[in-house]
Each structure stands twice: as structure tokens, then as C-alpha cells.
Amino acid sequence: MSNPIPESERTEIEAAAFRRLVKHLRDNTEVQNIDLMNLAGFCRNCLSKWYRAEADERGFEISDPQAREEIYGMPYDEWKAKYQTGPKQDHK
């Protein structure tokens, strides 16, 4: 039988899972945001907005470009130029 996870450990596990998700998205650049939106209902831009909102709730002000860079691992325009295929669509 497993022990309940203490809240402090749960937060660390969730943070590690988030970092793993971000790394997975960075490593799989062939997966387009439009594909993510169509299949999962969210994309890298959504994730960056959630990141920014959570930072804001905790009193840290970051811009959309800064939040996107946290998720994409590079400036958003650079990522789009390198990896975005098909019509250039920006999901707000």
C-alpha cells in the first residue's frame, strides 16, 4: 500500500512533471501548435500564458515574450522561423 504524498513533495513532483512536459515539447518541435490545439485543446502558447498567470498570482511580473521563452527555450519568433510549418498561425 502506498503512502500519501506530503503536499511539499507533491509540489516538487508536479514541478518536475511540468519541466518534463516542457522538455518534451522542446524536443518534439515537429509537433505543431495547431496539432496540439486540435488534439489536446492547448498548445505551447497556452502553457506560457498559464505560466505567466501563475507567476502573476505570486507577485512576479513577466511579459508574454518572457513566458513564451520559458516554454519554447528561445524567443518565440525564432522558434516560429525554425520549426513552424504550414500557415503561420498564432494562437492567442
pLDDT computed for residue 2 by the predictor? 83
The domain over range 7-83 is classified in CATH as 1.10.3340.10: yes
Q: Which residue has the cell 498548445?
A: 43
Whether 91 shows a pLDDT value over 60: the answer reads: no
User: pLDDT tens, 31-64?
Assistant: 999 999 999 999 999 999 999 999 999 999 999 9
Residue 84 and residue 30: Cα distance in Å, rounded? 8
pLDDT computed for residue 90 by the predictor? 54
Q: Kindly list the domain boundaries of the chain, sorted by start residue.
A: 7-83
User: pLDDT tens, 2-12?
Assistant: 889 999 899 99
Backbone angles phi, psi at 37, to 5 degrees: -60, -45
Entry pTM: 0.84
